[in-house]
Amino acid sequence: MNESNAEHATQDPTEITLEECWDSAAIAGLVRRNTFRGHMPAFLMLGKRETTMLRNHLAKAFGEDEIAKLTELHYAGLKVVETRLDSLVKVAGEKMSPDLERAARRQPSIQALADACRWRFDAGLA
């Protein structure tokens, strides 16, 4: 492995570092920097430390009991994925375009598709 690859392999993958508490502005900036040409990240990858910070931040607004009940966590429209790393803040994935999401919701039912596929034979013998 050459020096540049070795250096890259040992770099911390964290895109930003949160000091002592959750920083909404820093997260918003991270999302903005990673949003380009209509492509928006879908996941907020957090280490154990940052997940705790986020839960504490949300608990101040909604109460600890409500946060404890959550089985899935979302923040700023991103699904939060807790990693096994002690510390990590990174965005990943890509959200589907809004046009594609709307088209998927308008998809016809299976019965409508079956009805549309039926052949109609008219021999004109009347």
Least confident of 24-28, 48-52, 98-102: 98-102
The answer to whether residues 1 and 9 touch, using CB atoms and an 8 Å cutoff, is: yes
Between CA 53 and CA 22 the distance in angstroms is: 5
Between CA 78 and CA 35 the distance in angstroms is: 12
Whether the pLDDT of residue 110 is over 70: the answer is no
The whole-number pLDDT of residue 22 equals 94
% of the chain residues with pLDDT over 90: 35
Of 96, 87, 77, give the one whose Cα is nearest residue 45. Answer: 87
pTM over 0.75? The answer is: no
The whole-number pLDDT of residue 34 equals 86
Tell me the DSSP string of 23-84.
-HHHHHHHHHHT-BTTB---EEEE-HHHHHHHHHHHHHHH-HHHHHH-SS-EETTEEEEE-S
Would you list the domain boundaries of the chain?
A: 8-117
Give me the residues paired with residue 36 across strands.
Answer: 39
Q: Residue 117 is which amino acid? A: C
